[in-house]
Amino acid sequence: MIPHSRPTLTEQDAQRVAAVVRAGHVAQGAQVAAFEREVAARLHAEAAAAVSSGSAALELALRALGVGAGDEVVIPTYVCDALYHAVTRVGAVPALADACPETLSVESQEVKRRLSRRTRCVIVPHAFGLAAGLASFDGLGIPIVEDCAQAIGATDDGRPAGSRGRLAVLSFYATKMFTTGEGGMVTGPVELIDRVRDLRDYDEREDLAPRFNYKMTDLHAALGRSQLERLDSFIARRREIAARFRSRLAGRPRGLPPDARGGRHVYLRFIVDAARPVGPVIDALAARGVTARRPVFRPIHRALGRAGYETADRLWAERLSLPCYPGLTDAEVDAVAAALCEALGA
């Protein structure tokens, strides 16, 4: 069975983590500090604060921006539930935006329609490794949190994805661009990142303002640093795989992801438009040894019983996420493509 996702782990990764164990300092320390500096440099950010997950990063980014009870935050409906949970955890109300069929994220016009007097922030994901086109959000007048959980290393309008928003959040979960097992980070200007640092740790503070234990450990950071060294090779291989899929699938499923466009996209996933209900296609692929998924488990509006998000409904019904990760061999890519063509009867 070809899995949908698989981290790229090596003996070097194991040795870096083992070295931290041998050194005896495993909690947040020098490895975390170095990891933060390296990621900040990569994203052209002033500063970075490592945390325990992308979910924690989202929550602390919102808190650092002062988002709280009575505020609204615009988020896509066609997205991981982590965004909804982060917004509600800080006491704010998610305002759901419909999906964009090209970027699989949100369009600025649609976000504008969802703004109200209470909107304090907009979260814009770079979805599935596709740069979202942040320049089109310039002039919105509301702080943007760039969610780079699925697109570390992408380039958006000539700049690293994550460098245009007020803050950016990252995830290093096992299925992401590179991994620490679980982990996340917030990047941005020093004054906001200092707030995230304050919030992630409750220990030895004079006052009792709400604080958390959302810290990353040096064990995780050592793995992250080792993985980050190889991020460019991971991205290069993902782009090769995407190009191979594009050539093997040319003209078969209707919509394929855009080409890398001068290094914009990093293809965390390879998402195709099956132009038909994907449930039976997923079953047919499984019967042929390929694990495929819906890119989003379920749009948020559906869990809330809301209607009026036609594009997200269509994407949910008909888009398919194929295995796409550096460890996939060319033979496996060809097998996935052939299985899809058979499953679609193309």
Q: How far is the CB of 20 from ligand PLP (least distance, A)?
A: 21
Segment interacting with ligand PLP, rule: CB under 6 A, options 52-60, 107-115, 259-267, 313-321:
52-60
Q: Which lies closer to ligand PLP via its Cβ, residue 147 or residue 218?
A: 147
The residue to which tokens 């303002």 are assigned: 209
Q: How far is the CB of 214 from ligand PLP (least distance, A)?
A: 11
Q: Which lies closer to ligand PLP via its Cβ, residue 53 or residue 187?
A: 53
Q: Which lies closer to ligand PLP via its Cβ, residue 149 or residue 249?
A: 149
> Nearest 10 degrees: CA dihedral of 300, 304, 307, 312?
10
Q: Which lies closer to ligand PLP via its Cβ, residue 25 or residue 298?
A: 298
In angstroms, the first-to-last Cα distance of the chain is 22
Show contacts with ligand PLP in window 21-50 (CB under 6 A): none
- Residue by residue, DSSP assigns 230-277 as THHHHHHHHHHHHHHHHHHHTTSSSB-----TTTT---SSEEEE-SS-
CA separation for the pair 320, 332 (Å, rounded): 17
Binding mask 175-204 for ligand PLP (x = CB under 6 A): ---------x--------------------
Q: How far is the CB of 150 from ligand PLP (least distance, A)?
A: 5
Find the residue with minimal CB distance to ligand PLP: 54
> Are 169 and 149 within 8 A, CB to CB?
yes
Q: How far is the CB of 338 from ligand PLP (least distance, A)?
A: 29
Nearest to 168 by CA among 62, 269, 82: 62
Can residue 55 be called a binding residue for ligand PLP (CB under 6 A)? Answer: yes
Q: Which residues pair with 320 in a beta bridge?
A: 272
- Residue by residue, DSSP assigns 107-152 as -HHHHHHT--TTEEEEEEE-GGG----GGGGTT--S-EEEE-TT-T
CA separation for the pair 156, 159 (Å, rounded): 5
Can residue 227 be called a binding residue for ligand PLP (CB under 6 A)? Answer: no
Show contacts with ligand PLP in window 111-150 (CB under 6 A): 125, 147, 149-150
Can residue 173 be called a binding residue for ligand PLP (CB under 6 A)? Answer: yes
CA separation for the pair 188, 191 (Å, rounded): 9
CA separation for the pair 339, 141 (Å, rounded): 47
Q: Which lies closer to ligand PLP via its Cβ, residue 31 or residue 53?
A: 53
Q: Which lies closer to ligand PLP via its Cβ, residue 59 or residue 218?
A: 59
Q: How far is the CB of 330 from ligand PLP (least distance, A)?
A: 27
Binding mask 77-116 for ligand PLP (x = CB under 6 A): --xx-x----------------------------------
CA separation for the pair 180, 141 (Å, rounded): 35
Among 35, 42, 54, 78, binds ligand PLP (CB under 6 A): 54
Count of residues that bind ligand PLP according to CB under 6 A: 14
Nearest to 245 by CA among 342, 127, 332: 332
Q: Which tokens is 150 given?
A: 């699925």
Binding residues vs ligand PLP (CB under 6 A): 53-55, 58, 79-80, 82, 125, 147, 149-150, 171, 173, 184
